[in-house]
Structure 1
Amino acid sequence: MRSKQRCGVPVGRLVYGLGSFVADFDDRALAHIKAITLSKLRRNESFAFTCEIPVAAGSGHVCLWMNAAIPIQFEFVGSKEPTLNRAWLEELVQLSNSPTGLRVTPEPDPVRSVMHSPKPTDEKLPGERVGAQRVGAGRLNH
């Protein structure tokens, strides 16, 4: 794959089927699409995915039925996987479970992600009590 950029942002590709559908996405959006897609297909959950067709290619949109039986490739330009934005993932998961299916939306402001970075010792996660133990930690069997 040759290196592409759009406005200075690395552009990767989603290839669905046997090359019958190819769409360009910036690597950051593609990483989020990949996370949602692989998570759902791993559980054998098919879903609709709608992609916008750029003006240069004729405008409009295409809706794909994402299914584990159909080959899919995620081709990234950058050498490092982008850090995932938990808020965006949650939004995209909700869309993927809706009747209209997954579509790429603008990225919301990030919330601190624990997916790729350990939690600082002095900071608590949302809903976590200070000094709380993990479930099952220190449990005695009587």
Structure 2
Amino acid sequence: MGSLYYGDSTPIQIDDRALAHLKVVVATKLRRNESFTLSWTHPEGQPEGRSTIWLHPSIPLRFVFDEPEAPNLSRRWIEALAHSANSSGGITLVGELLDTPEPS
């Protein structure tokens, strides 16, 4: 379980694999100096509900992974996260979308 540190807030616990995909999309948006929201459903072991934060390039952000090796990334999952990042609702952390072979 990785952690997303945003400003002075309590770390947000996110699965390492999901966090690796999220990092790609967030870094792309912030590199373009774009602000946006990030929403997620609370994981098991936390009170039920969901949270949203406003991400802005001027606020410190740090990704911390428990696993020492970076996972292979799913292009489809990154595309789905990027698509939501460009919507008025911002990024919604969705479950993994697996890359599937193209039909012949």
TM-score (norm 2): 0.89
Q: Would you say 1:91 and 2:64 are equivalent positions?
A: no
1:56 deviates by: 3.0
Structure having the higher Rg: 1
Kept after mapping to 2: 8 A contact 1:41/1:67: yes
Match of 1:30 among 19, 35, 43: 19
* Paired residue type of 1:103: T
Q: Would you say 1:44 and 2:33 are equivalent positions?
A: yes
Instruction: Give the ranges of 4+ consecutive aligned residues of structure 1 lying more than 3 Å apart after TM superposition.
Output: none
Kept after mapping to 2: 8 A contact 1:13/1:75: yes
Q: Which runs of 5+ in 1 are unaligned?
A: 1-10, 113-125, 127-142
1:111 deviates by: 4.6
Matches within 5 A, 1:9-28: 11-18=1-8, 20-28=9-17
Aligned pair count reads 102
Match of 1:79 among 68, 90, 96: 68
State the match for 2:57 in structure 1: 68
Kept after mapping to 2: 8 A contact 1:85/1:111: no
| Identity across the alignment (%) | 37
1:55 deviates by: 5.2
TM-score (norm 1): 0.66
1:97 deviates by: 0.7
RMSD, matched Cα: 1.7
1:73 deviates by: 0.9
Summarize deviations over 1:11-63 as a string: whole Å, max 9, x none. Answer: 11111112x13211111100011111111101101111012223532211111
Distance of 1:64 and 1:104 partners within structure 2? 12
State the match for 1:105 in structure 2: 94
Q: What SS is found at the alignment partner of 2:45?
A: helix
State the match for 2:43 in structure 1: 54
Distance of 1:95 and 1:107 partners within structure 2? 14
Kept after mapping to 2: 8 A contact 1:12/1:77: yes
Greater fraction of residues in helix:
2
